Structure 1
Amino acid sequence: MAKVKGAIVVDTETCKGCEVCIPVCEEKVISMSTEVNRKGYHYAYMSNPDVCTGCTNCAIVCPDRAITVYRIKI
């Protein structure tokens, strides 16, 4: 079975920093930024990209649809 490498892209202007994506990430890939977006929210970002599997849990639970997940077979 082929291994899958994942990556997420967070729309930083859409993310309102609700942190719902953080506990569903089994690989602990997502953290909150210390910077804020134009609306004043801390936004999620991919802090540990090497271990992302592209499981899509974060995108599924995001209430604002701010997360896009990409997957490639390696």
Structure 2
Amino acid sequence: MPLRGTIVVDENLCKACELCVEACPQHVIGLNAEIITPRGFHPAHLIKDECTGCGICALVCPEAAITVYREKRGAQG
């Protein structure tokens, strides 16, 4: 069973550079065209519920605007 994850984007930091969009191996991040941040950008957000919590998006984000949360693996047995 694949891991499940989610991201939280700090909209005050995101500058819509799209590095996270390009780096996401699951292709689940996009820019939210419905929101404009106080800095005038469309922030990144999840566009599909297939995030694995790999953390690549957070690593490539130059503003450290992304926090990744990953579910814990259950006990195998």
What is the TM-score with the length of structure 2 in the denominator? 0.86
Q: Give yes or no for the alignment of 1:29 onto 2:12.
A: no
The residue type paired with residue 12 of structure 2 is E
Task: Give matches, 1:4-43, under 5 Å.
Answer: 4-34=3-33, 35-43=35-43
Deviation at 1:13, TM superposition (A): 1.3
Q: Unpaired runs of 5+ in structure 1?
A: none
Aligned residues: 72
SS of alignment partner, residue 4 of structure 1: coil
Letter in 2 for 1:32: L
The SS at the match of 2:11 is: coil
Runs of 4+ in 1 over 2 A off after TM superposition: none
Q: Which entry has the higher C-alpha Rg, 1 or 2?
A: 2
Higher strand share: 1
Give the TM-score normalised by the residue count of structure 1.
0.89
Deviation at 1:17, TM superposition (A): 0.5
In the TM superposition, residue 42 of structure 1 has moved relative to its aligned partner by: 1.2
Q: For the residues of structure 1 that align with 2:37 and 2:45, how far apart are their CA atoms?
A: 12
Alpha-carbon shift at residue 23 of structure 1 (Å): 1.1
Task: Among all aligned residue pairs of Structure 1 and Structure 2, give the percentage whose two residues are the same amino acid.
Answer: 43
